[in-house]
Structure 1
Amino acid sequence: MTRLLITGVALAAGLLVGCGAPAATTAPAAAGPVGTAAPASVEVPPAGTVRLSGDLVTPTDLTIDDLAALPQQTAEVTFGSSQGQQTHSETGPALADVLPVDALAVSADRRNNLLSFAVLAIGADGYSAAVAYGDVSADFGDRGLLLSLVEDGQALERPRLIVPGDVRGGRYVSDVVELRVVRLR
């Protein structure tokens, strides 16, 4: 049983780090907080573009204009950071609208299938953080995750993943260039 558990954990970790096509253009990987590992390389799509990749029906690239055309939501968020407590007003599409359920490569024969997916947000500097799709889905956690395009009234050059309710801002990924969907089981 222990060997099976260890193998499952190793497989899940490998899926998070290793899925997707080989990178053609890469940005240097940045060191994240203790306990996190950025991907060895990050394929950086053209400026103003977010790549949707991984376990999707149709991987695609979305421009800032595509993201701005989705319904916009605003969230007031407060979180701790190395610079102290921060409070911001963030506006952008809900992550559930950017990655709707019908975009995921789900299996009809699995119970609560959405709970086996995660979304790895990757920044232009290689920093990354994962969120469970259950936290994105309106059918489960519905935590109001956003891909912010505007912070405190100022347009962002690249989107920022916003995770309302997080005590610390470690999963707030700035300058998002890729959202990689991963099936964990």
Structure 2
Amino acid sequence: MTSNCLLKPLFCLCLVGFSVITYGQFAPSSMQISPLAIRQRCDGDGESPSQFNLVGEVTHTKTFTLETLQKYASSKVNVWYNTGKGPVDTSYIGVPLLDLLNEAIVITDSARKNDILRKYVVIRASDCYESVITVADLLTNFGGEQVLVAYATGDGKPLVDDGMARLVVPGDKAGGRYVSNIVRIEVRSAP
């Protein structure tokens, strides 16, 4: 019980310290990051993009438009998830993210055991919102998740409020990884 009493103040101190450093309050001016600086680091402008790039640790960087996505074999998924506005029950048509990664060819180091397990994908929206999916979650011999880069609703209509493409993660109970207005998909490695 004594250690529990000590941990609570320590946790609060760490949380306050993290908040101060993260949000720039009380930090020296040289450490403060303005909202403008954060926006300048982003690929998007908050608008609905007409294309997105697949970059990072891949052999072939790619640029995708609605027309190029529609040339791939598509899948349709039915999803149900919660959002801040309430539950969503809908369907989407799109290309499996794994198919796009396979075409770009994720770079792995054969000298590192199971290097593919260190790989993850950062999906960025035009408003700088980001979400992460591990490559292993997509592989059939590991997670096997049918994550889509959707370009249409289940009835084949173009996405209206979601930009040209959005990430769809069937099985997620919350919509946090459902990134709309995709501008960038980047493959990275964990240290």
TM-score normalised by L of structure 2: 0.72
Q: Secondary structure at the match of 1:65?
A: helix
Distance 1:117 1:39 in 2: 26
**What is aligned with 2:117?**
115
In structure 1, C-alpha distance between the alignment counterparts of 2:67 and 2:179, rounded to whole Å: 20
61-70 or 174-183, larger mean C-alpha shift: 61-70
Which protein is richer in helix relative to its size? 2
1:160 is aligned to 2:166? yes
Alignment-derived partner of residue 170 in structure 1: 176
Point out the structure with max Rg over C-alpha.
2
Superposed, 1:17-166 pairs within 5 Å as 41-44=41-44, 47-100=49-102, 103-153=105-155, 154-156=157-159, 157-166=163-172
Judging by fraction of residues, say which structure has more strand: 1
Residue type at the aligned position of 2:182: V
* TM superposition shift of 1:58: 2.0
Distance 1:169 1:40 in 2: 26
**Mean Cα deviation higher: 80-89 or 53-62:** 53-62
| Distance (whole Å) between structure 1 residues aligned to residue 150 and residue 79 of structure 2 | 12
The AA in structure 2 aligned to 1:166 is D
Task: State the Cα deviation string for residues 39-88 of structure 1 (Å, max 9, x = none).
Answer: 76222499421101111112221222111111100000000111111111
Q: Which runs of 5+ in 1 are unaligned?
A: 1-28, 31-37
Distance 1:75 1:169 in 2: 15
Residue type of the alignment partner of 2:113: R
- Indicate whether 1:181 and 2:187 are aligned: yes
Whole-angstrom distance in 1 between the partners of 2:59 and 2:141: 20
Residue 101 of structure 1 and its aligned partner are, at CA, apart by 7.4
Q: CA RMSD in A?
A: 2.3
Q: 1:54 to 1:39 in 2, by over 3 A?
A: farther
Q: Which residue of 2 aligns with 1:11?
A: none
Distance change >3 Å, CA 126–CA 102, structure 1 → 2 = closer
Task: Map Cα deviations across residues 79-113 of structure 1 (whole Å, 9 max, x no partner).
Answer: 01111111110110000111117611111122222
Q: Given that residues 44 and 127 in structure 2 are in contact (C-alpha distance below 8 angstroms), is that contact kept between their aligned partners in structure 1?
A: no
Deviation at 1:152, TM superposition (A): 3.8
Offset at 1:166? Answer: 0.6
SS in 1 for 2:188: strand
Cα distance, 1:145 vs structure 2: 0.3
Q: TM-score, normalised by structure 1?
A: 0.74
